[in-house]
Amino acid sequence: MRIADMLARSRPTVSFEFMAPRDESEVDVLERTVATLAGHGPDWVSVTYRVRTGEKTLELVTRIKRHYHIEAMAHLTCANTADRTRQILNWMEREGVANVLALRGDAPVSGEPFTPADPQLTHASDLITLVRRSGYRFGIGAACSAEKHPESPDLEHEFRYLHLKVESGADFLITQLFFDNKFYFDLVTRVRAAGITLPIVPGLMPIPSRRSLGVMTSMSGASVPAALQSAIDEAPDDEAIRALGVQHCITQCAELLETGVPGLHFYTFNRARAPIQILAALRGQQLLAS
- List residues with catalytic annotation: 17
* Residue type at 82 in one-letter notation: A
> How far is Cα 198 from Cα 165, in angstroms, rounded to an integer?
11
- Decide if residue 84 touches ligand FAD (CB under 6 A): no
- Cβ proximity to ligand FAD: between 25 and 110 the closer is 110
Q: Does 75 bind ligand FAD (CB under 6 A)?
A: yes
Does 2 bind ligand FAD (CB under 6 A)? Our answer is no
Closest separation in Å from C-beta 98 to ligand FAD:
17
Cα–Cα–Cα angle for 126, 129, 130, rounded to 5 degrees: 85
Helix (H) or strand (E) holding 72: strand 71-76
168 counts as binding ligand FAD under rule CB under 6 A: no
Helix (H, G, I), strand (E, B), or coil: what is residue 280? helix
Phi-psi region of 73 (alpha: psi -120 to 50; beta: other; left: phi over 0): beta
Task: Tell me: does residue 32 bind ligand FAD (CB under 6 A).
Answer: no
Confirm or reject binding of residue 163 to ligand FAD (CB under 6 A).
Answer: no
The β-bridge partners of 120 are none
Q: Rule CB under 6 A: say whether 170 interacts with ligand FAD.
A: no
Taking the C-alpha atoms of residue 38 and residue 262, their distance in angstroms, rounded to an integer, is 20
Compute the distance between CA of residue 175 and CA of residue 201 in angstroms, rounded to an integer.
6
Rounded CA-CA distance 30/193 in Å is: 40
Q: Is 152 in the site for ligand FAD (CB under 6 A)?
A: yes
Residue 161 in contact with ligand FAD, rule: CB under 6 A:
yes
**Residue 222 found at the interface with ligand FAD (CB under 6 A):** no
Phi-psi region of 44 (alpha: psi -120 to 50; beta: other; left: phi over 0): beta
Taking the complex as a whole, the smallest distance from the CB of residue 152 to ligand FAD amounts, in Å, to: 4
Minimum distance from residue 72 beta carbon to ligand FAD (Å): 13
The rounded distance, in Å, linking the Cα atoms of 145 and 183 is 9
Give how many residues touch ligand FAD by CB under 6 A: 23
Footprint (CB under 6 A) of ligand FAD, residues 116-145: 123-125, 143
Minimum distance of ligand FAD from residue 105's CB (angstroms): 3
Q: Rounded to the nearest whole angstrom, what is the least distance from the CB of residue 20 to ligand FAD in the complex?
A: 8
What are the residues binding ligand FAD (CB under 6 A)?
Answer: 48-49, 75, 77, 101, 103-106, 123-125, 143, 149, 151-152, 157-158, 161, 165, 174, 176, 203
